[in-house]
Amino acid sequence: MTLVELMVVVAILGLLAVAVFPLLGGSSKKNLLRETAATVDGHINQAISKAIGARTGHGVWIQSDTTSAASPVSALAFCPGTTQTSGSATFTLAAQTDTTVTASKSLTPPPVPSGSLLSFVGFPYDYELTGQSTVSLRSSVMQTTSNMAWPGLLVSETSGTLSYTISIPPTGSKGTKVPLRGNACIDLPLSTVGVYGYSTPAATLTNDGPLILTFDSLGRVRTATYTTVSSTIPIQRRLDARTPIALLVGMRDQVGQAIVSTPDEDNPGSNLQRADTFWVVLDPRSSTTLIVENAGTGVANKGIGAVSINSITEAQKFIVQTLKNR
């Protein structure tokens, strides 16, 4: 082989390296994100296993590293399940015609943490406790226009006694945290309770508080506790069949980033735009989890800059298809 031939071979190998290395890097990131999604999926299923037979059930505690909007979730933890207390309490109404959620009402249960769910015997829906000793009914995701009235009105009373059950959410995580490997994370501000295009309503989360998922002693998903972008007060919600939890597994340095028109290495944009990210979805119909690829393509067309409901809807379209086909 002559020196010229050797130089030609070296040049060809160099060109091949330039062409192949970026592809290998992208494949490596996708493998990392797929492994991270599998870790999150396994963690949730381990909590379900721990819940079976446990007196209060068990749960998953998912919290960002700080309260910054650009802070990722880099570790997972377990937590106890939802505890319950029951009893009877007296209530009073301002007037017989008081049917709004803002009028004066009072209830005297034992002191419980704000955000607990209150249900009355014989009534199929829940209220949220927003204070330690009084109840303020607010327009939460648990209620609809037709069931906002104070239960006493249904029996034409202005005062009386009602039997109740209070579900108290966990107050902290427990055990060793499971770290997520490398630069992968859960992008909590892009994760949702409900799936856009499938659930009504769906809610986008914030980093102001943890996302707590609890399971009962039969392994069924029970509640989700979270903070939305429209409120700083935690909400505890019983999950119905139409309210999946969708966790976006992405890259840490893209959390909190705006959507860009043309993503590149220097300006990759939001995790919503990555075609190699994954959603870990908890389907409450069966209390099972599934891993779904992110739609990615077309998100930029839904609005450059701040993330919108349209862009999340576009990114979650594979989830909708998967859930409808199950």
Ranges 78-82, 118-122, 141-145: which has the least confidence: 141-145
Give which of 158, 188, 159, 179 is closest to 67, Cα–Cα.
188
Predicted confidence (pLDDT) per residue in 257-316, tens digit: 999 988 888 889 999 999 999 999 999 999 999 999 999 878 887 778 888 889 999 999
Considering the chain, what is the average pLDDT of its residues?
82
Give which of 45, 13, 76, 87 is closest to 221, Cα–Cα.
45
The domain ranges of the chain are 32-80+173-325, 83-168
pTM of the predicted model as reported, rounded to 2 decimal places: 0.82
pLDDT at 106 (0 to 100): 52
For the stretch 184-198, what's the b/e string if a residue is b when 16 or more beta carbons lie within 10 angstroms of its beta carbon? bbbbbbbbbbbbbbb
pLDDT at 100 (0 to 100): 43
Ranges 48-57, 124-133, 159-168, 235-244: which has the least confidence: 124-133
pLDDT at 146 (0 to 100): 44
Average pLDDT of the residues in 139-166: 58
